[in-house]
Structure formats: C-alpha cells, structure tokens
Structure 1
Amino acid sequence: MKSAILAAIGLVAALTAGCSDTASSGALGPVTAEGDRGWPFEVEEVDRFDEPWAMAFLPDSGDLLVTERTGALHLRDADTGERVEVTGTPEVVDAGQGGLGDVLPGPTYADDGTVYLSWAEGGDGGVGAAVGRARLETDGDGARLADLEVVWRQTPKTEGEGHFGHRLAFSPDGEHLFVSSGERQLGAPAQDTSNTLGSVVRLTLDGEPAPGNPLADRGGVTAEIWSWGHRNPLGLEFAPDGTLWESEMGPEGGDELNLVEAGANYGWPEVSNGSDYGGADIPDHAAGDGFTAPVRSWVPSISPGSLMIYDGDLFEDWRGDAFLGALSGEALVRVDLDGRSAGDAEVFDLGERIRAVEEGPDGAIWLLQDEGAGRLLRLTPA
C-alpha cells in the first residue's frame, strides 16, 4: 500500500534529487533577465497568449507557431515579435482538456510548407483527437492554412472531455509520424489493442499504419499501434540519439517518463506507481509483471504537460537531457538522460503552470505558461 509517508518521501525525492541552489521556490513574479534567483539561466518574457497549448519554430525563418486551446493559431515573427492569427484552422471542441493541441512543421516543410496539427473534434460517439496537415501560406499581412486534411483520428470517439494526448513527433529520418493517444479517462481501453486509446501510434506521413508496426498483421486500427498501456501521454519527443521518449500523467502520483519501444505495454491501468483517486491502491510496477516500467516516476504528481529533449549549444552541459513542463508542479523539471536510462532530476520552481517547452533555433529554452499567466518565456544562460 502507498501510505502517506511513502508519498511524502516521493515528493521530497522528486523535488530534491540532484537539485542544487538552482531549484528555487516561490512565485516567479515579474519576469526579468537579471538571473538573481541563483538559477543557471536568465528569464525573459517575450509575449503573452490567452490559453496556449503548444508551440513550434519554423525551420526556415525561426518564426514561431503557437496554438491556443480555443482554436486560435498564431504566427509570431522572429525578428519583430509581431504576430498574426492564422486563418483556416479546424473547428475544435473547446471543452475540458479538449481544443486545439499540438503543432509541428512537417519533414517536407522546407519544400512545400506542410505543417501538422492535432485537436479535439466531435462526431459519432462523442469526442476524439484528430491530426491534420495543411500548407502554411504567408503574405505581407497575413497567414493561412490551405488544403487542410485530416490524416488520423483517435478510435473510438467517446464521451468525456479529458485525456486526449495528441502530441506529435516525427522520426529522425522524416519517414514516420508518431501520435500519443490518451485513454480518455476510461482506463481499460489502454489494455485493449482493438482500439487506439491509451497508445502511441506510428504512421506514414499520410496517416496510414506504418509498415513494420508490431501488430501490423492484425489489420485495422490495431496496425497503427507502436506501444500501449498509456494513460494521459502529453509529451512525445525523439532524443538526439534516436530514442523515443514519452511523458504522461499518472492518477494520484505515478507520473511517468518512459522510453518508448515497439510492442511494449506500459501497464495502465493494471499497474502504476501512483494510487487511484480517493486512495485506492494500484499495484506498483515490479520486475516480472509483464509490463514496461517507467525510467522515472513522480509521487506525488508534478503533472507533466510537455516534453523536450535538449540538443542545443547554449546549455552545453544539458545536451541530451529531458525537460518537462510541470502543470500542478508549477515548474520546469530537468532529468539527466544517459542513453536509455534516467539519472537525477532538477526542479526549477517557476510558480506558474508550465504547459509547453521547446528549444529555440539558437539553443535558448522557450516556455509557455498555462492559461491565466499565458506568458511566453525565453531562457538563456545566466
């Protein structure tokens, strides 16, 4: 049983493992670039958004795309900071955790301007995640999405407003699209591979099941699945060495950082290092239980809402490390990655919910605070 004592120990471990004076407490307050909190970085506020969810830098210009959960997509000029709202976005279900989600320039963006987006859409059976692609067109005064087409839908649609997942990642060779799919707060579907709830799917760029997927011989949506047994996977990112990592929210505790591998079952809802809501026990991950355990977990929750693996030059000592935006934890969390294993964690208490983390073209670390604050922050070495 997971007692209150164990939970308290877990919190201390999560917040102090590997921490130095760089892990500060208290609200961030007015953002300055003074670096006077003992952090190894300076923090600059560069913009504000209403309900931001994700961001992505365009490879040709360094301009920034930012999604807002209500359905708005913004394009921010890298040189001037001016921004325009992109037209032609899909109709979204803006309710609960649903709305406009992730955005990424496609592997062919430099040639054809293709970008990919995810969102919650309505339909028969309720609501589900969808992924689409379109051509981003700009002129002197505006920007638009042209020829938007849906390439993937979460199956099946269900009632409820939570656990969509719908984070996107492209394989390093640019051949495959990976999508994280939440279990829609239903639990059991994560262990049922006849649907794509509670899974990570691997697709072609057109949204078809990718050849060589572990369950390809079963056909249907099962052929899309790369891994399963996930709960609420809100981070998905390839490391510089080509390994795929995923972060997900557990129930009461048990948030996870996972190394994602083909055909692996990560156990939800059969096992979790957290407890069910109300305190009901869930068996912990254990050797020989048939499930793949996380490389790192947090008890109590930090609520990881995003994941970035750093590959820049500004923070040289952090190259290859994982950065998670913590929502309930109101922090930026760094995890020391060494190949396929995770070491110490370092927590920078920012005093606001961190929704998204990205690496900028120059190696700076960019953060989006969640709705309420909505600040776009740029981190550079102190």
Structure 2
Amino acid sequence: MFLKYLAPCAATAVACLSLTFPSTPPPETADATFKKLCSSCHGDVQAFVDRKWKHGTTKAELIASISKGYSDFGMPAWEATLKPAQIEGIADLILSSIEKGSRYSFNNKPKSNVFKTEAYTVRLDTVASGLSSPWGMAFLPGGDLLATDRTGKIYRIGANGQKSEVSGGPQVLAEGQGGLLDVVLHPKFDTNHWVYFSYSAVKDSPEGKVGTTAILRAKLDGTQLTDQQVIFEAQPWSKTRHHYGSRLAFDKAGYLFVTVGERGSEYTNPQNLESDLGKVHRLNDDGTPAAGNPFKDKGRATIWSWGHRNPQGLYIDQATGTIWETEHGPRGGDELNIIRKGANYGWPVISYGIGYDGKAFTSLKAKEGMEQAQHYWVPSIAPSGLALVEGTRYPAWKGNFLVGSLRFKYLNRCVIKNNKVVKEEILFPNIGRVRNVKIAPDGYAYVAVEDPGVILKVVTTGK
C-alpha cells in the first residue's frame, strides 16, 4: 500500500525537479562571449560602429578573422576554443553594430538645395551666409532674426537677407568648443528689450586663462546692445575648452533655464551638487535663484537637475510645461531627456556610451534613483539644437521633434508617441554640421549649419 502511493509522488517530484533545475544550462549569448573574451582588447562591441577594418566586414571575412586570427597584430585564433556557432554569433553581433552606423554613410554632397523627404519635397532657402559657426537664433518682432556666431559676433538679419553686425556683445573665449553660444529673448521683450546670451567667459588665473559658461543680458536697440549685465557664471571655472553646454529657454512662468556641461571633468562635477557644472539651472530673469529650486539648502541654489554631460538642446513646451533636453554621450549614448525637478540623469555612473578609446566608462546602464533617457542614440549623432514642429507649415511633421546632427551632418526627425521616439527620418543628408534648429513664429523651420556658416529656411514645395 505504501509503495502504491509513493511511486506517483516520486514521479511528480522528479518532474518538478526537472522543471526547476534544468540539467543543461542555457547557451551563453554572443554578447556575453564577446564581453568575456574580446572586450579587454576591443572594448564595447559598439566601438565597431565606426572602426576602420583591415580584413573586410562581410560575415565570411569576420568569421575568418575570428577563427584564424592575425598573430602579427596580436589577434589570437579562436577556432580551437570556440564552437563554429559561437564564432558565427560573434560575427553577427559585430555586423549588427556596423549596420547601425551604415545608415549615416552619406558619401555625396547635395547637388541642389531641393530634397525629397517621406512627406514632402523641400527646398532649403539661404537666409544668411558668410558666418563661421552660427550657434543661437532668436526671432525679433517684425520678422528680423538675431543670430550668434561662435566667433563672438552677433548679427541682425533682415527679411531680405541683409546682415548687420550688432555691437556691445560679451567678450568670449572662442577656443575649442567655446565662444558665443545661445541667445533668447525675454518673454516681455516687446516692452523691456532684454536679450540673453550664453557664452564661454574668460579670466586670468595663476594657472593661466580659465573659462566658464556665463549669461549676459543686455537691451537691444536696433544694432546696439546697452545696459549689459552678467547675471550668471557657472562655478568652478576651468582650464578645459570643451563641454560648455549651453542652451537657454524661458518657461511660461518667466523662469530662465540654462544648460551647463561638465567641462570634461566627468568624475568631479556632474554628481557634485556643490558644482554648477553638468547641470540644468533655473533662474529668475535677473539671474538670481528661482524660488522652489530643489537644492538651495544642500547645494548650489540655481540647480534644477544634475548628472548631465554636455547638453546642447533645450525645448520647453509652453502648453504643458514639459522640458525636453538633448545631450552628447561619450561615444554612443547621446540622449533625449525629459527634465524633471531634482532628477539625476546619471552621468557618468550610468551610460549607454563608451569612451573614445573604446573602453567603457561604466558597466551600468541603469541604477535606482537615476533617470533613463526617453531615447538614446548609438552611434552618437552629436545632437545640437532641438525644436518641436508646430503650426500649419508642415502638417505631416506636426508634433515631431527636429534635432541637429553635428557628427553626421543632417537634420533628424523624431516621431514621438507617449514621450518615446517611435520613428526617425534622416532629413537633408550631408548638408553640413547642423548646430541648431528653430521654429519661427510663422511656423517655418530654420536650420543653422557650420563651416561655412549658413542659416537655411525649410520650405515645402510639394508632396
């Protein structure tokens, strides 16, 4: 009787054990194999996106390279160690990384100023030329355009394309990535004439010239700036000449938001609330800390969010108050973020990018208490400038974001659904390093391109 009841129970137990504890472990993924065997020399697999190859990039050529190796170059042969399926898996992994970059391979310069997009035939009209690196754009009442050039010059551009230089701007450190950067009008510019400029300020120190991201406001009268006031200087000053940020935007309550890069000191500044660097700041229009900022009692009083690398795109939706930002990752991992009060965006603790030498800054892509991007780019497109398409000029693009690409020299269209990018389109390939994009009050998109510096107007001519 005992055996009669034991047998079914034993069989059930064996079945349960076989389900809970599989006798054969699952095979290792190609990604795990690469990280274990290859990453110590080659870094992250995404480093293969833009690598120069000596022995070919077809699947057969990659399999041969992995299998046979190249002892003269220090590449071991893996055919005696790995199974053919494992070698094929690594080859497929590398190919997928290469293909991510191939979509940006624009070999030819545009032959005309007319482009075919998914929705429209588009003509790019030249609004202004003869600039070096146009950085900021602001639209004045009456239709004139105020534009900054990184060299330090400010231009007022009329509807006929006439370009007049504006005097009275700040002294800038136009070295490396620095110079005269963004420009924005006060929300009540019609009555107070205040214009705000971000720039890389310079001063002498015992260690030589140092710089920082600063904000100057001044009153515009025709082509003359007066009543200049420096209202913000990010602390500390630094000897480096890169990662200044810096974009400016007013929200509907009249607060000024300023993006500041971490100046290349990733382990010192972005995770330090006593530093202004690697942060988004929220100011009153006179530069004083805005009421309600989250860190006034335990850090710098102007900080709104932290953990940023080099933010060069900023857009505030005046209807919803949502703050959107783009920032450069190191090599891969460029980000599109929604900026929230007090939030930490993780740099350099978490990142989807790697160093320029192919080595990872961090093994973490997520961590509790740190924000995930709404979207990230691998490979890096080097995003600069961010605009939301509104109005009736481009109905098929309404609600889409436009993002400039410095690295691949095109304008990126992002289709947004539930605050996520669900589709992208490459617009105007190889037109030049796109530094900024803005939507004018009349609904037209304006695009600033570097070296030679031009400002272009996007005009649809048909389907």
TM-score using structure 2 length: 0.74
- Deviation, structure 1 residue 105: 1.1
- Deviation, structure 1 residue 42: 2.2
Range moving further from structure 2, 50-59 or 61-70: 50-59
- Deviation, structure 1 residue 25: 4.3
Larger radius of gyration: 2
Task: Confirm whether residue 115 of structure 1 aligns to residue 199 of structure 2.
Answer: no
Q: Which residue of 1 aligns with 2:66?
A: none
1:315 paired residue among 362, 377, 394: 394
Matches of 1:335 and 1:28, distance apart in 2? 23
The change in CA–CA distance for 1:214 and 1:377 in structure 2 (over 3 A counts) is: same
1:254-273 pair list within 5 angstroms: 254-273=333-352
Q: Which residue of 2 aligns with 1:20?
A: none
Partner amino acid, structure 1, of 2:139: L
* Number of residue equivalences: 366
- Deviation, structure 1 residue 320: 2.3
- Deviation, structure 1 residue 116: 0.5
Q: Residues 323-357 of structure 1, C-alpha deviation per residue, up to 9 Å, x if partnerless?
A: 11100111101111235333212122421111111
- Deviation, structure 1 residue 361: 2.5
Confirm or deny: 8 A CA contact 1:252 1:276 kept in the other structure.
Answer: yes
TM-score using structure 1 length: 0.89
1:1-382 pair list within 5 angstroms: 1=35, 2-3=44-45, 4=48, 9=96, 12=99, 25-32=106-113, 34-35=114-115, 40=120, 41-78=122-159, 80-123=160-203, 126-138=210-222, 143-173=223-253, 175-188=254-267, 189-218=269-298, 222-239=300-317, 240-283=319-362, 286-351=365-430, 352-371=432-451, 373-381=452-460, 382=462
Matches of 2:94 and 2:220, distance apart in 1? 47
- Deviation, structure 1 residue 308: 1.3
Confirm or deny: 8 A CA contact 1:75 1:85 kept in the other structure.
Answer: yes
Q: Secondary structure at the match of 2:361?
A: coil
- Deviation, structure 1 residue 27: 4.0
Partner amino acid, structure 1, of 2:187: P
Matches of 2:112 and 2:289, distance apart in 1? 45
Confirm or deny: 8 A CA contact 1:181 1:199 kept in the other structure.
Answer: yes
Range moving further from structure 2, 344-353 or 325-334: 344-353
The change in CA–CA distance for 1:306 and 1:36 in structure 2 (over 3 A counts) is: closer
Matches of 2:320 and 2:99, distance apart in 1? 31
Range moving further from structure 2, 23-32 or 262-271: 23-32
Confirm or deny: 8 A CA contact 1:24 1:37 kept in the other structure.
Answer: no
Q: Residues 144-183 of structure 1, C-alpha deviation per residue, up to 9 Å, x if partnerless?
A: 111111111111101110000021011123x200000000
The structure with higher relative contact order (CA 8 Å, sep 6+) is: 1
Higher strand share: 1
Matches of 2:94 and 2:408, distance apart in 1? 15
Partner amino acid, structure 2, of 1:127: G
Matches of 2:321 and 2:250, distance apart in 1? 11
| Identity across matched positions, percent | 34
Range moving further from structure 2, 321-330 or 276-285: 276-285
Confirm or deny: 8 A CA contact 1:367 1:376 kept in the other structure.
Answer: yes
- Deviation, structure 1 residue 215: 1.0
Please report the RMSD computed on the Cα atoms of aligned residues, expressed in angstroms. 2.3
Partner amino acid, structure 1, of 2:307: G
The change in CA–CA distance for 1:261 and 1:10 in structure 2 (over 3 A counts) is: farther
Mark the runs of 5 or more structure 1 residues left unpaired by the alignment: 17-22
Q: Secondary structure at the match of 1:357?
A: strand
- Deviation, structure 1 residue 317: 2.6
After TM superposition, which residue ranges in structure 1, 4 or more long, deviate above 6 angstroms?
A: none
Confirm or deny: 8 A CA contact 1:276 1:282 kept in the other structure.
Answer: yes
- Deviation, structure 1 residue 310: 1.9
Higher helix share: 2
Mark the runs of 5 or more structure 2 residues left unpaired by the alignment: 1-34, 36-43, 49-91
- Deviation, structure 1 residue 217: 2.2
